[in-house]
Amino acid sequence: MSETIRLGISTCPNDTFAFHALMNRLVDWRGLEFDVRLLDIQQLNDQLFAGRFDVAKCSFHAALLLSDSMVVLPSGSALGFGVGPLLLSSTADARTGASPASTEQVTLCPGRHTTATLLFRLFYPDSTRIEQVVFSEIMPRLVQNTANFGVCIHEGRFTWQDQGLGLVEDLGTRWENETQCPLPLGGLVGDTKLPREVLQNVQAVVRDSLEFSIADPAGALETMRKYAQEFDDDVLMQHVRLYVNDWTVDLGAIGAAALDRLNQKARQAGIIPRQTAGLKILS
């Protein structure tokens, strides 16, 4: 019998682009079967902690906390320069130029274990009250002025100005300036209980799927549209151009160094336990 892999990926365009060929069986599954679930990134994090996936895309914040039981696959990551989450202010706070400074203020974050939350806690410790919401609720609530600030991810990075919101800071740019490393947002991790050969086959299928879409980007659009919050094709492809790069194909030495730096800074800030071993990349 074929091994069935419980695979979780996010609904964001870079994932549906990368996994389009796998999901539609346009590449060889190499003797495996895939049970694919698409969820919001924090739902993926939560279900990975609950042991409901064999392989899943997750925030690198979550991956660090799971590093004793998970290994990072070389392909499928979102990592790079100019890819970071944006700290935005509400329409009202944008007019006053306010920044996070008071515990009476509220900052919306897209999930407790997201890398976006980790970055906000790194750069704005003890500044405001954090409220965790689904990422798609953040900009609407800032427009409605029911929160002061929000850490924006995914397609909203390209559309926030149309909503009259203010840019407090690009958290990715700050990371780059402080570390000289690309920002590791999320990656594909596999349960180390799986045989190494199975993990290597999963990695090979994922890389085949990614290269399939890179060779024919327009062919992935129908799959991307099905799950996207933003339906404009130009925005979807802009998202792919930003988040899918050489490090998505293979993390390599630079990707490994960026993960080590994230682990180091998160430990120093007390965001993850100091005994956290750090992430290992499947070889």
Q: How many CB atoms lie within 10 A of CB 276?
A: 17
- Note the pLDDT of residue 180: 95
Question: What's at 200, amino acid-wise?
Answer: Q
| pLDDT confidence band for 277 (50 / 70 / 90) | confident
Q: What is the pLDDT of residue 55?
A: 98
Nearest residue to 259 via CA among 63, 53, 46, 14: 63
242 or 30: which leads in pLDDT? 30
188 DSSP β-pair partners: 57
- Provide the pLDDT for residue 235: 84
How many Å apart are CA 183 and CA 122, to the nearest integer? Answer: 13
pLDDT for 45: 92
∠ CA 205-208-214, rounded to 5°: 145
For residues 54 and 189, what is the distance between their CA atoms, to the nearest angstrom?
Answer: 8
pLDDT of residue 135: 86
What beta strand segments (E) does the chain contain?
A: 3-10, 32-39, 55-59, 70-72, 78-80, 86-89, 106-109, 129-132, 149-152, 166-170, 183-191
| Mean per-residue pLDDT of the chain | 93
DSSP code, position 164: T
| DSSP-based three-state secondary structure for 140 | helix
Long-range contacts of 43-50 (CB under 8 A, 24+ apart): 44/8, 44/9, 44/10, 45/111, 45/112, 45/113, 45/114, 46/113, 47/8, 48/8, 48/189, 49/113
- Is 162 in contact with 248 (CB distance < 8 Å)? no
How many H-runs (helices) and E-runs (strands) does the chain carry?
A: 13, 11
In the structure, what pLDDT confidence band is assigned to residue 95 with cuts at 50, 70 and 90? confident
Least confident of 28-37, 210-219, 239-248: 239-248
pLDDT at residue 146 above 90? Answer: yes
Q: So which residues are the catalytic ones?
A: 154
* Span 22-48, pLDDT tens digits: 999 999 999 999 999 999 888 999 999
Q: Is the dihedral of CA 10, 113, 207, 193 positive or negative?
A: negative
> pLDDT class for 191, splitting at 50, 70, 90?
very high
Confidence of residue 265 (pLDDT cuts 50, 70, 90): very high
pLDDT tens figures, 99-128: 898 889 999 999 999 999 999 999 999 999
Tokens of 192: 């180390």
- Across-strand partners of 186? 59, 78
pLDDT at residue 201 in the model: 97
Q: What is the pLDDT of residues 148-186, one digit of tens each?
A: 999 998 766 777 888 889 999 999 999 999 999 999 999
Report the distance separating Cα 38 and Cα 50, nearest Å.
16
Q: Which two tokens stand for residue 235?
A: 């925005």
Residues 6+ apart with CB under 8 A from 186: 10, 41, 57, 58, 59, 60, 63, 77, 78, 115
- The pLDDT assigned to 231 comes to 67
> Which letter does DSSP use for residue 194 in this model?
S
